[in-house]
Amino acid sequence: MEAFSVVDSTNTFASGWIERGAPHGAVVVADFQRSGRGRHGRSWSSLPGFNLTFSVVLRPKLPPDQIGILTIAACTGTAAAIDRFVDPLHTTIKWPNDLFLNDQKICGMLLEASWNTPGQNPAVVLGIGVNVNQVEFPPKLNGQATSLFLETGRTIPRADLFAAILGGLEAAFNRMEIDEKSMRRDYARKLMNVGEDVRLRFVASEGDVVGIVRGVDAAGGLVLETGEGRRVFHSGEVMRTSGTERARSEERGARSEE
Ligand code: BTN
């Protein structure tokens, strides 16, 4: 384990460590990241002294097309650990790997794979940021982000939560090998927006898709019931929408086929 008061990004440090031979399970933790990174090229800012920001190196024995199972293991393992600290509340999962409490984000994950370490298993960095005891968030995040403290009214000892999450992750990665099916079921049970109309926004490209969430497939892809039938997506950001929007987009689809 490498522990820092300040680092650029624990994911960036872990990627460099992988090149120097970091083993499966190596952990990098920091109290503050100067340039914490989020999904879709966004930044992740987290105040020092309040939260958890760390990365775990994984060297899974998985082919590239099955790497999605890591997301499922990471979410179920982390969520199970956090749930023990927030009772009677419980976390939910926003596809693919955000954890929510009371409908607001409390944890984000950034999985970055590198498949080119010569002579070694492919390596993945799993970066996790948890809003633990933070009391205030920037106004632009109002209603979107919260912390375990704000939702439970309890100050949570970060070291205890960190140990619990690492234990939860270890259990989940073992479970991935022996009982993948029940792990998928746990993920599906916690998945938000199932049966609801959503808009899937593609951050890296033009256009988006509307449909009803039906669950995830074996590779962790989001299954949406769209105007063109069931489709599976492996990227994008889920946004709540209304059935009216889906009806309009189906109508547009029908018109363009006339
Ligand atoms: C997201 O929700 O966009 C993902 C956020 C991931 C943040 C964590 S904090 C620890 C690790 N190091 C980083 O630079 N990012 C991840």
Digit-coded pLDDT (tens) for 97-151? 999 999 999 999 999 988 665 555 679 999 999 999 999 999 999 889 999 999 9
Q: Return the structure tokens found at 4.
A: 């820092």
Q: Return the structure tokens found at 128.
A: 């996790």
Contact (Cβ atoms closer than 8 angstroms) between residue 54 and residue 128: yes
Q: Return the structure tokens found at 115.
A: 């498949």
What is the pLDDT at residue 120?
56
pLDDT at 77 over 60: yes
Among candidate residues 156, 174, 70, 40, the one with its CA nearest the CA of residue 106: 156
What is the pLDDT at residue 243?
62
How far are the Cα atoms of 198, 230, 232 from residue 243, in angstroms, in the given order? 8, 16, 19
Q: Is 55 in the pocket of ligand 1 (CB under 6 A)?
A: yes
Per-residue pLDDT tens for 160-199? 999 999 999 999 999 988 989 999 999 999 999 999 999 9
What is the pLDDT at residue 118?
59
Q: Is 8 in the pocket of ligand 1 (CB under 6 A)?
A: no
Tell me the CA–centroid distance for residue 128 and ligand 1, in Å: 5
Per-residue pLDDT tens for 220-251? 999 999 999 999 999 999 998 866 565 665 56
Nearest CA to ligand 1 atom 11: 127
Minimum-distance ligand 1 atom for the alpha carbon of 39: 3
Minimum-distance ligand 1 atom for the alpha carbon of 12: 14
pTM of the model: 0.92
- Which of 128, 132, 237 to probe ligand 1 with, by most ligand atoms within 8 A of CB? 128
Q: Is 34 in the pocket of ligand 1 (CB under 6 A)?
A: no
- One-letter identity of residue 111: L
What is the pLDDT at residue 3?
98
In whole numbers, what is the pLDDT of the chain averaged over residues? 91
Nearest CA to ligand 1 atom 7: 129
Minimum-distance ligand 1 atom for the alpha carbon of 42: 3
Minimum-distance ligand 1 atom for the alpha carbon of 8: 14
Distance CA 86, CA 90 (A): 6
Tell me the CA–centroid distance for residue 7 and ligand 1, in Å: 13
Instruction: Summarize the confidence of residues 200-225 as an average pLDDT.
Output: 90
Neighbouring CB atoms inside 10 A of 192's CB total 16
What is the pLDDT at residue 204?
74
DSSP strand pairing (27-33 vs 2-7): parallel
- 205 or 59: which carries more pLDDT confidence? 59
Q: Is 97 in the pocket of ligand 1 (CB under 6 A)?
A: no
Q: Is 96 in the pocket of ligand 1 (CB under 6 A)?
A: no
Per-residue pLDDT tens for 10-24? 999 999 999 999 999
Nearest CA to ligand 1 atom 3: 38
